[in-house]
Chain A
């Protein structure tokens, strides 16, 4: 899962996090409207996670909790995790949260596992019972990881059903179906 070339891992690190600069930095501009050409100490901005993480390790910035883990989302998840639209908030909710938890807020870990436990059951139910057309609305709420789970369950169930129904056992070689060319 944690392969270097994992496309989801790469996309996940593109998510923006709010940061506060702890140092003044010369030669960088985070805001086009200022013409100073430097970043002052204490200025706030949003950076992609991969950059924020590197800067954090060098104590240049402090990371604060991004929107998708704010108090409002937490309350919604506590109320009914299964109905929260996590995809629009952050498609890589779980992976992002795992990376973020040690950097800014430890309690994210708890939130993640709580949300996953509840939502997992929902995915399980929907994957094995609902027809595909009816599920599309539900699919809009899922994060990437949950969508993979859903697809895995659905596709193996479909494959099994297809096998059980049978169908043509022997596949006709494509060459057999061809008609002979009419003699000219």
Chain B
């Protein structure tokens, strides 16, 4: 893949994950009149003042930086929802469903659209708390895993990326050691039988 910063480990950097997150759709309320925009990724608009429109996050941020719109906070980022999610995260072992890119989206909105978020500090600390609780969960899960199948639902992009290198290597090692015990694999079995040296002189092969 072209966007990979480290080809040997097939890792994404956090910035690359953020870049991918910018394709998520968000709702904006423009304050300008503008014809529709035609991009390779799709057509957005036309934009009319005070009428909400769906655009990708990168476009929303670009407009926001120029003061041409306000960004509507996504449903899941409301204080009530986040409080509910945080409680559920604390209570159960499973991960709660959140947008795949929740860490990146919230970070971008905190950085660029702070005046559009009511209770900014509350929301930010809730998101931080949720992230911490989930990271802790990821670590306890990592502790438990062995070479058997691993199923974790609802992990987000950033959480996966943080443990990608570690988990990949660890699983490989577990797999290697487990295989070593159960089935001595075939080429090793062949190696085990020592070649019996023959006293006969080597026969020369006929040239074909």
Report how far A132 CA is from B188 CA in the complex, Å: 40
A140 to chain B, nearest CB (A): 20
- Residues on A with beta carbons closer than 8 Å to the beta carbon of B115: none
Q: B180 to A59, Cβ gap below 8 A? A: no
Residue count of chain A within 8 Å CB distance of chain B? 36
A112-B180, A120-B170, A149-B170 given; A156·B162 CB < 8 A: yes
Most A CB within 10 A of own CB, among B111, B139, B173 = B173
A8 to chain B, nearest CB (A): 13
A57-B195, A124-B139, A127-B166 given; A110·B11 CB < 8 A: no
Give the residue name and chain of the A residue nearest to B176 (CB): A98
Q: B180 to A109, Cβ gap below 8 A? A: yes
- Residues on B with beta carbons closer than 8 Å to the beta carbon of A149: 166, 169-170, 173
Residue count of chain B within 8 Å CB distance of chain A? 39
Q: B196 to A59, Cβ gap below 8 A? A: yes
Q: A112 to B170, Cβ gap below 8 A? A: no
Name A's interface SS: helix
Q: B178 to A113, Cβ gap below 8 A? A: yes
Enumerate chain B interface residues (CB-CB to A < 8 A).
9, 11, 13-15, 18, 107, 111, 139, 142-143, 146, 158, 161-166, 168-170, 172-174, 176-178, 180-181, 184, 188-189, 191-192, 194-197
Enumerate chain A interface residues (CB-CB to B < 8 A).
1, 56-59, 94, 98, 101-103, 109-110, 112-113, 116-117, 120-121, 124-125, 127-128, 145, 148-149, 152-153, 155-157, 159-160, 162-164, 166
